[in-house]
Structure 1
Amino acid sequence: MFDRRISLITLGVADVARATAFYEGLGWARSPASTPEITFIGLKGVVLALFGRAALAADAGLAEEGAAPPAFAGVTLAHNLASEAEVDAAFAFAVARGARAVKPPQRAVWGGYSGTLADPDGHLWELAFNPMAPLDVDGHMTLPG
């Protein structure tokens, strides 16, 4: 059986220390289980790991196809918030700490409100308010039905 959950998301980064400093700047705490080669950050219900891009490719049995990450890797991580104002505040907070604004927060065609940021390695983060999928008391996204 393949359980419906994600336990760990690992981002391949150019410099683990730099990436760690960025996420710590957002107020996310580095786990004591971290080493200089990999950082673990406990989030609500999932762990975020920061691991060297070449080492991550090698661990998966793949050759890294170039030194620079692609312009778009086909993945966006999302951080949902409870209101448009929270999206604006979180977006400004992340940009002030080194995130690159990709798309400023704005009304979305799907009926919500969102903006897109990139971390120092180009990993995309969508900050969104989705009125059709509100957050529960623990801040987890709920789906209708």
Structure 2
Amino acid sequence: MIPQRISLITIGAKNLPALRSFYQRLVWEETEISSDQYAVFKTAGVLLSLFPIEELAKDAGIPVEEAAKSGFSGITLAINVDKKEDVDHAIELVREAGGTILREPSDAFWGGRTSYFTDPENNCWELAWNPDSVFDERGAMISF
């Protein structure tokens, strides 16, 4: 089973410091890991992250030069799972349901496990396990 939740929305930023500054001027609270290379803002229900668009495409397994042609919007939705092995199980469910796997499950440089897929309308999703994720009683991720 894949948890029925969206944990994180990532916007691929063309100018991350400028985009981060915009959200700061809205007086949105950032997490302690935020920087001009990767920023995360707390919202009601999900976390909003900003990541350079080229790095986001690369992380999703989309060659940067093909990102625009492939219909990649520069936005990914993430489902964070509870256990490392859940990433592998969930991606098999996605495969069986007809999703397109962009990046097979693999261990991430930041200590978790991740995989990317697109749904039938080419919306880009990440399945991830982060050992530092904290969820509230409803299953919403409140920090990592």
Report the TM-score when normalising by structure 1: 0.49
| Structure (1 or 2) with the greater helix fraction | 2
Report the structure number with the largest CA radius of gyration: 1
Report the TM-score when normalising by structure 2: 0.50
Q: Higher relative contact order at CA 8 Å, sep ≥6: structure 1 or structure 2?
A: 2
